[in-house]
Amino acid sequence: MAKLYFRFGAMNSGKSTSLLQAAYNYEERGQHVLLAKPAIDTKGAEQISSRLGMERTVDFLIAPDAELRVLFSEHRERLRADAADTLVPESDEHAVDVACLLIDEAQFLTREQVDDLLRIVVMDRIPVLAYGIRTDFQTQAFPGSRRLLELAHTLEELKTICRCGRKALFNARLVGGRFVFDGDQVAIDELSTDRVTYESMCAECYLTASGGRLG
């Protein structure tokens, strides 16, 4: 049975590394995968990059207004056609299909796009691995993450640590090296006139930096 997986964690918890490793594991066994990410994530353009130096170009970007199941179906058919062109005559072309859809930065998906992920799993019988962060710099859930927490068959937390050594839960935003706790939910460095960075923090360190503020 295909399942929808949501693998989440604070920033720098190895989400992109885990995604790229999952893709490699499928392909090592001769299976085909599709990789995608929301177009709103302009950092790295069409690349999925890990802190360990691994990098891969996505198969497609997901625009905010895109119907994700339709987009997936188009690329699924393209993969089938490309694979069929390389098959030897006695091969079964119907054996060539997508084994898994992998989504990076899934927190940026819309609610409707996450609903489409469940449809891909249940109606098209294709497993989906979605990777993302659960909450923003104000400890509020991203719409995509909230819907994934509601719909996913399986939830898996990827862990990382705070500067103090405790488990990191939250993502604090820094602008020009200073903590900020107001602003738009999405702020990507390339879109800002000031350098925007993030730090994974435990609850205690976050509350200390924010002066006790949450949200």
Active site residues: 105
In 53-195, which ranges are E strands? 55-57, 60-62, 98-103, 128-132, 154-157, 170-175, 178-180
Rounded Cα–Cα distance for residues 59 and 78 (Å): 11
Distances (CA, A) of 76 to 64, 67, 81, 96, 120: 20, 14, 9, 10, 11
The residue behind tokens 């923003």 is: 136
Find out whether 214 and 207 touch, Cβ atoms under 8 Å. Answer: yes
